[in-house]
Amino acid sequence: MTISAFVSDRLGRILLQAILTVASMGFLLATGTQAGVVGILMLVWLLVILCVQSMDYLKAHGRLEELETIMERLDRKYLFLECVPAPRTAYERSLLELLRRAGKSMIETVSDAQAAQREYRDYVESWVHEIKTPITAAGLICRSAEPRLRQKLSQELAHIEAHVERALFYARAESPEKDFIVRQSSLSDIAATAISRHRTLLIQSGVRVETKNLEHTVYTDNKWAVFILGQLLQNAARYRGREPLVTLSARQLGKQVQLQVQDNGMGIPAHELPRIFDRGFTGSNGRSRGGSTGMGLYLCRLLANCLEINLQITSEEGKETTVILTFPARED
């Protein structure tokens, strides 16, 4: 608390004391008290008032510093009221009691919201696992259909699987520590798995995939890394150009490994680049092509942050888009 804030807080009391002091001086002078005596009395009175106000300021300032120190040392700030020293005044005791009641109500509300969120997340995960069965059955039924119909149905089923997978990873991203395991992984295996899972979409979209220098070891969670790479491949297929080509290449960067995913598709307008990781942002390309949810790159950034993968995107509209994934070193 600054002196100016203290004075401003007690301005009414100080003005009242000043008025009473002037009135007392006038009364003493009117009753015949010598001016010198009145001056000495007023000087002593002002010194007393100054000392009292100074003591109040020092007590309030010291108390606030004590409370601020407790707050700064707490890792969980919401436990502040449980660590506050015993109140020194009746006003402080009443104020802390009100704050405790408010804090208790807030904690109960947050706990209820977290419980509801956990239930919803569990339901989504259960629904995802249950929906996979009819999707697989539909895929088997498609095999007996005529070639053109089979191709169309397979493409739509692939889109459904992609949406279902995004829903699952979005639900799990709320508590990533329960789902991912960081281990030594082969970058070439991660790339091969992602390409294999989206082979149907890539073939039907006419997208050619080239891999270069992927024989590197990275430290990440295979499942999550495959999902991130799969989202990038889906985007490359969705926003492809005339002769679509996706190139996956890697290089050693000190103790880190950089994976570069480059395509020659539609590209991203420069003014949209700062917003591509926002949840629900589809951009002009997504609106023109249709079917975009704006969740793919959002989930990529969310999961990449959990895995401490640095994710960067550069693009030139109408020419290419380059995504760079920098995997952390083993020590990290």
Look up tokens 């952390």; give the residue. Answer: 328
Number of domains in the chain: 2
In-domain check, residue 116: no
The conformation of residue 34, written as its DSSP 8-state character, comes to: -
DSSP string, 91-108: HHHHHHHHHHHHHHHHHH
In a domain, 118, yes or no: no
Mean pLDDT value of segment 276-285: 82
| Amino acid identity at 316 | E
SS3 letters across 197-251: HCHHHHHHCCCEEEEECCCCEEEECHHHHHHHHHHHHHHHHHCCCCCCEEEEEEE
215 falls within a domain: yes
Lowest pLDDT segment from 62-66, 100-104, 169-173, 317-321: 169-173
Out of 85, 110, 142, a domain closes at 85
Task: List the one residue out of 219, 211, 222 whose CA is nearest residue 249.
Answer: 211
Specify if 268 maps to a domain.
yes
pLDDT tens-digit series, residues 89-126: 787 888 888 888 888 888 888 888 888 877 877 777 77
How many Cβ atoms from other residues are within 10 Å of residue 332's Cβ? 10
pLDDT > 90 fraction of the chain, expressed in percent and rounded: 14
Does residue 153 sit within a domain? no
Q: What is the pLDDT of residue 175?
A: 65
Contact 57, 13 (CB under 8 A): no
Q: Is 21 exposed, middle or buried (0-12, 13-18, 19+ CB in 10 A)?
A: middle
Q: Is the pLDDT of residue 323 over 70?
A: yes
Distance CA 116, CA 33 (A): 78
How far is it, in rounded angstroms, from Cα 232 to Cα 238?
Answer: 10
Could you list the residue range(s) of the whole structural domain that residue 62 is in?
A: 3-85
Is residue 130 one of the residues assigned to a domain? no
Residue 160 in domain: no
Indicate whether 157 belongs to any domain. Answer: no
Strand pairing category for 245-253 and 208-212? parallel
Q: Measured at the alpha carbon of residue 320, what is the angle toward residues 228 and 187, in degrees to the nearest 5?
A: 35
Give the pLDDT confidence score for residue 176 in this predicted structure.
62
Amino acid (1-letter code) at residue 10:
R
Which one, of 283, 310, 314, lies nearest residue 296 by Cα?
283
pLDDT tens profile 41-96: 888 888 888 888 888 888 888 888 888 888 888 787 777 777 777 877 787 888 88
Spatial distance between the Cα atoms of 97 and 85, rounded to a whole number of angstroms: 13
Domain end residue (candidates: 85, 118, 147): 85
- DSSP letter assigned to residue 299: H
pLDDT surpassing 90 at residue 189 = yes
For 206-254, write each residue's pLDDT tens digit.
889 999 989 999 999 888 899 899 989 988 888 888 888 999 999 998 8
